[in-house]
């Protein structure tokens, strides 16, 4: 027994290469396209949880209807002071997006689904920005529809107001996405939302006339360049958050 030799079966070079390739494939998976990510999310949790639930649609629709009805009722008075009209529209353009996002987040917190999402192969941030992208699309359609309907009642520069609306929406969305990168979703989103409303309200109150001249006299070409810049910032923040690693429950 003492003289018996132990033979250890060493793997061949080909087997070593196969194992290394397998480890690399598992440890460094190929990056998915956004479409494939959505399809995988749909298979895991369903469209209802990726996009819009009935409760979110009802809540957001109610809030949007109240605010836009108020603007509709006072539109005749506001247009006599265009800085109030354009300034308010810039501030409120992310309204639909904000109400959808806020209610979705509230539901997750109240139902304790963040903990469940932490166990998935996708991060909370990937789920969040997929929903936010969808909400942005809804907000664009609602804002465009409201501008067209409002133009039937009062004389407005439809194209200029549309550019103001889109710039406000994507600036808000990009800022919110950037603020969420370091985690603490609830605290940072609340701080950003309050800062957005407070900052725009302060501008309307303190430098309303100057604000009006900027919004009314800025050339369409400049608005277009600003919108392209804001869109680039939005896409940058979107990509940055999409590739962020999940670091724990305190992210939320």
Of residues 172, 177, 168, the one with CA closest to residue 143: 168
> Would you say residue 2 lies in a domain?
no
DSSP per-residue codes, 1-47 = -TTPPP---PPPHHHHHHHHHHHHHHHSPPPPPHHHHHHHHHHHH-H
User: In angstroms, rounded to a whole number, what is the distance separating the alpha carbons of residues 57 and 100?
Assistant: 7
Whole-prediction pTM: 0.66
Q: How far apart are the two ends of the chain, measured CA to CA in Å?
A: 62
* Burial (Cβ within 10 Å: 0-12, 13-18, ≥19) of residue 120: middle
187, 59 contact by CB (below 8 A): no
Interval 128-183: pLDDT, tens: 677 777 777 777 787 788 778 777 777 777 888 888 888 888 888 888 878 777 66
Structural domain boundaries enclosing 199: 34-244
> Would you say residue 220 lies in a domain?
yes
DSSP per-residue codes, 165-177 = HHHHHHHHHHHHH
Of residues 114, 96, 94, the one with CA closest to residue 105: 114
Residue bearing tokens 């480890």: 23
> Would you say residue 209 lies in a domain?
yes
Q: Report the length, in residues, of the chain.
A: 252
> Would you say residue 15 lies in a domain?
no
> Would you say residue 191 lies in a domain?
yes
> Would you say residue 100 lies in a domain?
yes
Rg (CA), the chain: 25
User: In angstroms, rounded to a whole number, what is the distance separating the alpha carbons of residues 237 and 33?
Assistant: 17
> Would you say residue 203 lies in a domain?
yes
User: In angstroms, rounded to a whole number, what is the distance separating the alpha carbons of residues 116 and 107?
Assistant: 13
Torsion angle, alpha carbons of 187, 129, 140, 176, to 10: 30
> Would you say residue 65 lies in a domain?
yes
| Domains in the chain, number | 1
* Tens of each residue's pLDDT in the chain, 252 residues: 555 556 666 667 777 777 777 676 665 555 666 666 667 766 766 666 666 666 666 776 777 777 777 767 766 665 545 556 666 667 666 766 666 666 666 666 666 655 555 555 555 566 667 777 777 777 778 778 877 877 777 777 788 888 888 888 888 888 887 877 766 666 777 788 788 888 877 877 887 677 777 777 788 888 889 889 988 988 888 777 776 655 544 444
């Amino acid at each position: 027994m003492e003289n018996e030799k132990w033979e250890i079966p060493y793997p061949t070079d080909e087997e070593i290469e196969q194992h290394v390739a397998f480890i690399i494939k598992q440890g460094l998976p190929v990056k998915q396209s956004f479409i494939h990510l959505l399809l995988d999310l749909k298979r895991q949790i369903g469209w209802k949880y990726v996009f819009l639930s009935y409760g979110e649609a009802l809540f957001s629709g109610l809030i949007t209807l109240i605010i836009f009805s108020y603007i509709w009722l006072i539109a005749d008075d506001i247009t006599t002071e265009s800085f109030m009209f354009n300034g308010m529209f810039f501030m409120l353009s992310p309204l639909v997006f904000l109400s959808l996002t806020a209610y979705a987040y509230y539901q997750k917190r109240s139902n304790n689904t963040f903990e469940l999402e932490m166990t998935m192969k996708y991060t909370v941030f990937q789920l969040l920005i997929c929903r936010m992208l969808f909400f942005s699309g809804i907000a664009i359609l609602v804002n465009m529809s409201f501008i067209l309907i409002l133009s039937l009642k009062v004389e407005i520069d439809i194209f200029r107001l549309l550019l103001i609306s889109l710039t406000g929406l994507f600036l808000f969305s990009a800022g919110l996405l950037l603020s969420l990168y370091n985690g603490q979703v609830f605290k940072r989103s609340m701080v950003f939302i309050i800062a957005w409303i407070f900052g725009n309200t302060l501008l309307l109150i303190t430098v309303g006339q100057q604000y009006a001249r900027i919004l009314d006299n800025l050339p369409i070409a400049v608005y277009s360049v600003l919108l392209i810049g804001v869109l680039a910032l939005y896409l940058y923040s979107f990509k940055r958050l999409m590739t962020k690693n999940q670091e724990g429950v305190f992210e939320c």
